[in-house]
A and B are shown apart, each in its own frame.
Chain A
Amino acid sequence: MNPPTPNRSDIEGAEPLEVRAVALEEKVSAGSFDEIYRSHVSFVWRICQRMRVPEMNIDDAVQDVFIVVHRRLVDFDGSVPLRAWLYGIVSRVVADHRKRFRRKESAVSPMDSERNLGVETFASSLPAPERSLEASQALGLVEQLLERLPEEKREALVLSRLYEMTVPEIAAATGGNVNTIYSRLRVAEREFEALYATHLATGVSP
């Protein structure tokens, strides 16, 4: 089956009507809060994990996201894809958690801070012990290779390959143009593959 041709307005860089249509469809099909939770909790969880929310605070952060969703769902007008809307909420909630974490950290003594709430906690939040070593190593290597890409390409790859967002969702979440995101993602994918190939070829562990 041939892939559907793109919307003309997409090609010309005009307002992506296709995106809006999908968003409205999502609004109609968004269903109950419970369904949204079940369908998107993994998505939210993954973002919180990757945004360095400490393992012990992940539950709270995810719950805070869905409390906001619960409160605002009636106002969700479908003007953006549901996952782009969720991504915005997660980003704000995680930023808020970070602020609270910093306040809490500054309220304890430096020694306690180093021992229990060190600044590095955010930067070294590791997956839970039960996650396989292989998966953790894969994540570590992905992060290491992603660091070598410019910010915009890195962001596109993270949203696409780690959070599994579609290009229209990424465009809506980042305020970018759909066509630009397609191009950026394609180049980013090739560069990441090259970096990984080089890593494998040099045979040096990270």
Chain B
Amino acid sequence: MNDAMEKSGALFEGARRALEPTQEDIDRNHRALLAKIAGAASLAAASRFEAESAGAATKAVAAKSSFSLLALKIGTSAFLVGAVALTVSRVLPSSSRTTTPAAGTSALEVPPVSSDTPVAQQPSSALDVSELPSASNAATQDHSKRAIALPASSGVVRAPEESAVVSDEPLFEGSAPIHVSPLLAPELSLLQRMASAQRKGQSAEVSALAKEHERKFPNGVFREEREAIRSLSDCGAHVGSNEATLVRFESAYPKSSLGERVRKACAK
């Protein structure tokens, strides 16, 4: 696994942690869920009992009424208990929640088809990517001869480890070299030429390379960087109005982390 994969993997792991429930969340939710299901089941039972009783012999009218009423009361009580349990589970402070044992777990289980087998076994995800349809970029062909299977739970098939491409020079002033997959090397290379021309003040060359990038990589991953370099170049050379250039970039990429660089360049 190369550096970019590792860093990206660690970033996703962090993001998953932000979405995960805590054990306390799980336990609280489980108790509330069981209470809801118990309440709903009791009400349903009461309704069924009433419906079945309606067809019974007329001799049992009095008994039926009292029994159905009783069943309904039981159902309603169970529902109320469920609602109370739900409320309590939400209102109680966390320390109280964690000390409350989970109740009624087994009573509500749906009969298992096979109780001995583990839940949701994951399939093996290994697959030789060389036999898969080609990816959009021809560069993938050279690097897909072997497959590395990730742990089964991820379901991701990795291409063989790819040697990272390091850019000769940074895209932006003060930024570090970039490591990317060979898959993206042609696009990055073009962008580097653009950045180099921009640093030399060759705005016509920047413009030509930007158009080449648009043509060759209409869905390129570095579109935002391309527009940032073009804006830096245009503002540096005062091609058109700097204000209009800035507005154009900020409208297209309002959340861009490169916005500050463009703003500074266009303010000059």
Contact = CB atoms under 8 A, between A and B. Distances in A.
A59 B224 contact: no
B172 A42 contact: no
Contact of A138 (B14, B37, B106, B260): B14
B17 A39 contact: no
Interface string A5-45: 11000110000001000100111111111111111111001
Contacts of A206: 255, 257
Contact of B110 (A32, A82, A179, A195): A32
A31 B115 contact: yes
A29 B117 contact: yes
A30 B123 contact: no
B15 A142 contact: yes
A67 B16 CA distance: 25
A95 interface: no
B110 A142 contact: no
Contact of B113 (A22, A28, A63): A28
Given A45-B20, A127-B18, A197-B7, A162 B109 contact: no
A32 B115 contact: yes
Interface in A61-92: 62-63, 66-67, 70, 73-74, 82-83
A5 B174 CA distance: 47
Nearest to A157: B12
A contact face: mostly helix, strand, loop, or mixed: helix
Contacts of B126: 3-4
Contacts of B222: 194, 198
B183 A187 contact: yes
A127 to B, nearest CB: 4
Interface in B101-151: 105-106, 108-115, 117-129, 131-137, 140, 147, 149
B8 A189 contact: yes
A199 interface: yes
B91 interface: no
B contact face: mostly helix, strand, loop, or mixed: loop
Interface string B10-32: 01111111111110011011101
A142 B156 contact: no
Contacts of B36: 63, 67
Contact of B131 (A6, A41, A127): A6
Contacts of B18: 49, 127, 131-132, 135-136, 138-139
Interface string A130-170: 11101111110111100111100000000011101111111
Sorted nearest first, the 4 A-B pairs with minimum C-beta distance are: A166-B155, A3-B126, A138-B14, A29-B117
12 contacts: A11-B132, A28-B114, A29-B119, A29-B121, A31-B118, A34-B106, A63-B36, A66-B33, A73-B110, A135-B15, A142-B11, A147-B255
Given A29-B121, A82-B120, A198-B225, 19 more contacts: A5-B128, A25-B121, A28-B114, A29-B120, A59-B25, A138-B11, A138-B14, A144-B255, A149-B221, A160-B155, A160-B156, A166-B155, A168-B155, A180-B133, A182-B129, A186-B159, A196-B8, A198-B171, A204-B260
Interface of A: 3-6, 10-11, 18, 22, 25-42, 45-46, 49-50, 58-59, 62-63, 66-67, 70, 73-74, 82-83, 127, 130-132, 134-139, 141-144, 147-150, 160-162, 164-170, 179-180, 182-183, 185-187, 189-206
Interface of B: 4-5, 7-8, 11-22, 25-26, 28-30, 32-33, 36-37, 40, 90, 105-106, 108-115, 117-129, 131-137, 140, 147, 149, 152-159, 170-172, 174-181, 183-184, 188, 219, 221-225, 255, 257-258, 260-261
